[in-house]
Structure 1
């Protein structure tokens, strides 16, 4: 059994130092143990820690370890949403629906249902490549008044209707990632529906990523008109944008800005001289 090292007590001059009683790790405050366990991977917390002792098993089975659930690395080896859903639901249950940050790829309907019921607690939701439709979002979406960060990149079944559900239920949203796969079939017809939805339902955005979006100058203009707080805008690969008139100048005023034509290795246009390496991700 792992034990905490003996603590030497300092005494007055002439007295022998006294070793304090050894303390068992399993007897530590569960919140302190949780802070230690959170430095481990999800796999270690779920498989190795519970086998150490009954006390540790009780800690990882409770809510203390699961205020943040990051399954992105674990999801890399999974291609089916069913397996992801099973683990997400298990951990959200353990948290007593008090998850503050949830990150998982390929989430399906059932795991989103659980995430939506975290209510006031959920602040960050990262669900790229989710197998979720507009109809699922409309049916299961609940108010998430404190959600600030949302990543719905590469969610091919979500359209402007699904984004509208997030916009109406997530009034504190300031960070949105809606990056899409590069277009392999050439330029597609412009579609400003998503840009318009973002502009009218997410006016407080500060950080916006819309790489390879299908919107045009019209949709971008609406975003710049409604989202006055933008300090970060990435529209790389959005080929329908031409930046006619004063639109390009308006974009250049944004602190961190990547235009549609910059290469993958290009730098942000930044009046302060900051480039990609200097940026810190608020996720």
Structure 2
């Protein structure tokens, strides 16, 4: 097809769209759109987009895409990717490249946030007491914390010490936990806590032989009301509570209902 035939075809197609618009909506076209102007729109330089729009687009990428690709496209994108506003919310659970140095990446992202980090979810594959301490030392305004627990790298004392540094915390989610957290200490350290989600592994079976005695000492029994009583005593502002694989009794449940008057949603899944 020649350039002339392409032009004729495109012009005809454009005229059909203009005719349909005029007949269907009863509007008059006051300007003519040429093929050249359409091509110019197709070739629009993304660097010319408003910074806030570019930021909105880049925020939809994964962490590894931003750090490994987007920030290397041009100077403007690199400037945007290094802006602290890009790093208010972080979810490392979306990163599936297990050969990546996640610990270094997570530390780098926390540094980029410059203390403005508000929400972070950390995957259990690389979480440790050391990394958790690094995050909370530099993110005192943190409002939401999601932890995938992996032992023995994460301990009960490590969690309590880290959470004590973020008193503005409103949401705490702990998954795959096989230790008994000090919920009373956590509640007193975070008086604004409104959402608590605990997904426990429950009592370990024969596979627990791979843990040493120091770690086993950190793992408490789950078939009691200790967690419920700690929540009732120290978390009066809770609105949402989720307890998975927890063997609390009716006594513990009633204590929660009495001690958390603002509770709106309670999800409880018992462990057999």
TM-score normalised according to structure 1 size: 0.66
**Unpaired stretches in structure 1, ≥5 consecutive residues:** 1-12, 240-283
Does 1:134 pair with 2:156? yes
Q: How many angstroms apart in 2 are the aligned matches of 1:56 and 1:39?
A: 14
Does 1:61 pair with 2:82? yes
Q: How many angstroms apart in 1 are the aligned matches of 2:48 and 2:257?
A: 55
Aligned 8 A contact 1:195 1:215 in 2:
yes
Aligned 8 A contact 2:203 2:222 in 1:
no
Q: Paired residue for 1:210?
A: 243
Stretch deviating more after TM superposition (51-60 or 93-102): 51-60
Does 1:103 pair with 2:121? yes
Q: Paired residue for 1:230?
A: 263
Does 1:151 pair with 2:173? yes
CA shift digits 1:72-104 (9 cap, x unpaired): 121x5549xx94332221111111121111112
What is the CA RMSD across the aligned residues, in angstroms? 3.3
Q: Paired residue for 1:90?
A: 108
SS at match of 2:248: coil
Q: How many angstroms apart in 2 are the aligned matches of 1:56 and 1:30?
A: 9
Does 1:39 pair with 2:60? yes
Highest relative contact order (Cα 8 Å, sep 6+), 1 or 2? 2
In our comparison, the structure showing a higher alpha carbon Rg is 2
Does 1:221 pair with 2:254? yes
Does 1:170 pair with 2:190? yes
Does 1:112 pair with 2:132? yes
Residue 230 of structure 1 and its aligned partner are, at CA, apart by: 1.7
Does 1:195 pair with 2:213? no
CA shift digits 1:165-222 (9 cap, x unpaired): 321222211111101126675xx77322222211111111111111111322332222
Q: How many angstroms apart in 2 are the aligned matches of 1:231 and 1:149?
A: 15
Aligned 8 A contact 2:164 2:186 in 1:
no
Kindly tell me the number of residue pairs found equivalent between the two proteins: 221
**Unpaired stretches in structure 2, ≥5 consecutive residues:** 1-29, 206-220
